[in-house]
Structure 1
């Protein structure tokens, strides 16, 4: 249905065309590496990359005449799921499914909760702006129940992101500070953090905080091993197009089997190679350019904060979710909204 609406009713733009090209690239890379082998690998490729395409096409269609409906839809779906997940976490702190290596809550793994929290709170705040408010009780409650989920089930990266969220929201309340929290500054901070973690390995210097405060090891629960392993896989034969979904659930390093690269940049690299990184980089830079141009607008600042928190999650997770590309697409298309409708 979205493909039909896009073809018939949506003005084509660079962002949506790059999203289509990126999704096609991941299937092409999978085909090259997998051939006519395991069918479930192609199903996994669909699960991993079609949400990106769906998100972009949905926002591209709804961005003008149906923006409020889209925001309400995201809020209702993610908000209800977030409430259900909170009940699950409080009622069954050890997980609904026990006995497995990673206990599951209502919404699945504890690290997945943030995929409900950020879009629900972000869209609630955007709808608050539509009613000339900065923050409603609804937004505070959604943030609070999200924080409860992440603390009780304890997802360290999510807790860090949710600690950053109110600080940035507070900063953008001030007109002089708001322009500093823009798309390029947040993306630049993410790039610097990736270089420091993977190139400089600065985590060794912050061992007391990582171990003593966050309760993690300097390997970030064995993540550094898969990071180094992914780099070792990028041989000349796979550097350009990567492996597609062929290596999903098949990354074996340091006697441990990983199902993904546990880092956004590395997941794109191992899946689509340098071509995938370039295409995804174009998507991000286009969205960040919009957020930078609208850096004085409060609603755009809210989106910037949400995207910045996803960047934090992307340091430790692969962002294989519909929530991340959905908010990225909202960030890119946000510029089409008349400025008079939003609080400055």
Structure 2
């Protein structure tokens, strides 16, 4: 296990900093629960960093159903005046998990309080677990913008093949779309520059029992364990898992006020719809993908996901490199970031 830590960032981390004027090609895949909140707010760095060339945005069922997520994202892009960004609908269901299977698993091994699109309806939330194509009235207004005609898997494969060695795949939701793309195009890991995922929350068992269970649960692995396994065992040039660190900074009233202070449409949107107290999971994931020098500590270890139908189904598995089973791969697990620099930059980007 290799550990790099302390500020300033080690040379091995600093060497990955993008140079001025460099184009950073990104394909972003996420589950866009809305309005606002971490999923959609993660679009802000991708829209505001002048180095970024966003090759497409894939949508996957996760925190909400696919059809509703697409509508929330399209409306946000209208508000942000970024109608040029292409939105591609992807997988509506995980590879194997179903609501019935998850309910049976809960009966045997314990409750999962947050099940994303399959969550029990409750006051103040618009969950509709039995109606996958229902779009409740959007509080931010219905979009006029339409999604692209081609699906997320097709768009991802096309983007990576068009720019070999240049596209970083950033996946902040369940990994269903990425796994499907790997099955269609097994050359994807050779052609992509890297993949950065939000998941990988190791050592969270005590936190699930003593704190906010939702925030200590690796939902993106849990919702589609088989997809996570396929992605983690593919031969990418580099895999980064933001993991636990994605929960380290939360949206506070003070942060929302700073973002809204400039009076710009995106800042006002965040101020109105941000969920206070919620970690900035996906915003941090995107920020790390765009600027790896934000990372001040990382561990390199082998990572996989339990796919046996046991009490540990969907939980991350981690080994030292010399102890790992065949087929697993080294992953850069982020352990700490420069929180002040991340927050300052995110506020500036939202206010532009």
TM value normalised by structure 2? 0.29
**Higher Cα Rg: structure 1 or 2?**
1
Higher relative contact order (CA 8 A, sep 6+): 1
User: Whose strand proportion is higher, 1 or 2?
Assistant: 2
User: Whose helix proportion is higher, 1 or 2?
Assistant: 1
TM value normalised by structure 1? 0.29
